[in-house]
């Protein structure tokens, strides 16, 4: 924690605060967290202890260094409950959960939660699995049913759920070629989303635009190597 604090800055704190970060946190850049990650490597027990501090920087680092083979469903459920803003729920928890053997099961469980932070962890977990797992291992029928569900529910959903659901549609379109056209059609029918952005000038989700960028780069169907960056 002392090392983490040494990397903190007031400027980074201001930026993270505007995006929803809650105290306590030091304001550590991801690049500096990666410096610590290189020192620790994967460290299951340390990850649990860091997450339990309730410090946002430490919680994010915990997900970076967690050993995906050791994380239990109990651990991940606890983390999803405690993730109190989007960087933790949609990125830290969603990415590490996707790399565990529990990811698909927990993703399906979490999207049913009435709590925004948990449901967004669920959509993020499923999206990360879709973007990394071989298509032959995916349940395409369930994935397609989620497109229909999102189309019906997204405009009435909570703010961060709109972001997470739209991200799911983009992932399906970009990484599952068999469902590409259906995901595109879903995005077109959904249309523009009304969301609260973190700061003036921030753009709302643009599903068609994001999909077209991937297609234009010739990366349609090309999977990511892992969920965590």
pLDDT of residue 38: 96
CA proximity to 60, closest of 70, 50, 68: 50
pLDDT at residue 198, as a whole number = 74
CB atoms within 10 A of CB 57: 28
Per-residue model confidence as pLDDT tens for the chain (229 residues): 999 999 999 999 999 999 999 999 999 999 999 999 999 999 999 999 999 999 999 999 999 999 999 999 999 999 999 999 999 999 999 999 999 999 999 999 999 999 999 999 999 999 999 999 999 999 999 999 999 999 999 999 999 999 999 999 999 999 999 999 999 999 999 999 999 987 766 788 999 999 999 999 999 999 999 999 8
The alpha carbon of residue 96 and the mean position of all alpha carbons in its chain are separated, in whole angstroms, by 9
CB 11 within 8 A of CB 27: yes
Res 197: pLDDT:
85
Q: What is the DSSP string of 114-150?
A: SSHHHHHHHHHHHHHHHHHS-GGGS-HHHHHHHHHHH
Helix axes 159-175, 140-153, angle to 10 degrees: 140
The CA-based dihedral angle spanning residues 89, 95, 101, 102, taken in that order and rounded to the nearest 10 degrees: 10
pTM above 0.85, yes or no: yes
Per-residue confidence (pLDDT) for residue 119, from 0 to 100:
98
pLDDT of residue 18: 93
How is residue 102 annotated by DSSP? T
Q: Could you give the CA distance from residue 52 to residue 129 in angstroms, rounded to a whole number?
A: 26
């Amino acid at each position: 924690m002392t090392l983490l604090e040494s990397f903190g800055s007031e400027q980074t704190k201001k930026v993270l605060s505007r995006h929803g970060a809650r105290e306590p946190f030091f304001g550590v850049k991801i690049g500096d967290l990666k410096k610590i990650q290189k020192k620790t490597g994967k460290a299951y027990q340390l990850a649990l202890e860091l997450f339990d501090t309730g410090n946002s920087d430490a919680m994010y680092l915990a997900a970076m260094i967690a050993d995906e083979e050791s994380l239990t469903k109990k651990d991940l459920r606890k983390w999803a409950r405690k993730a109190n803003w989007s960087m933790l729920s949609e990125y830290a928890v969603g990415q590490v959960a996707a790399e565990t053997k529990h990811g698909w099961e927990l993703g399906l469980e979490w999207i049913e939660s009435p709590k925004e932070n948990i449901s967004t962890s669920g959509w993020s977990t499923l999206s990360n699995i879709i973007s990394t797992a071989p298509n032959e291992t995916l349940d395409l029928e369930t994935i397609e049913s989620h497109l229909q569900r999102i189309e019906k529910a997204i405009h009435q959903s909570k703010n961060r759920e709109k972001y997470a659901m739209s991200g799911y549609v983009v992932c399906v379109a970009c990484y599952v070629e068999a469902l590409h056209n259906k995901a595109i059609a879903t995005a077109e029918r959904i249309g523009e989303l009304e969301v609260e952005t973190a700061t003036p000038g921030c753009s709302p989700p643009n599903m068609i635009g994001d999909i077209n960028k991937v297609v234009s780069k010739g990366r349609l169907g090309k999977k990511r190597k892992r969920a965590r960056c």
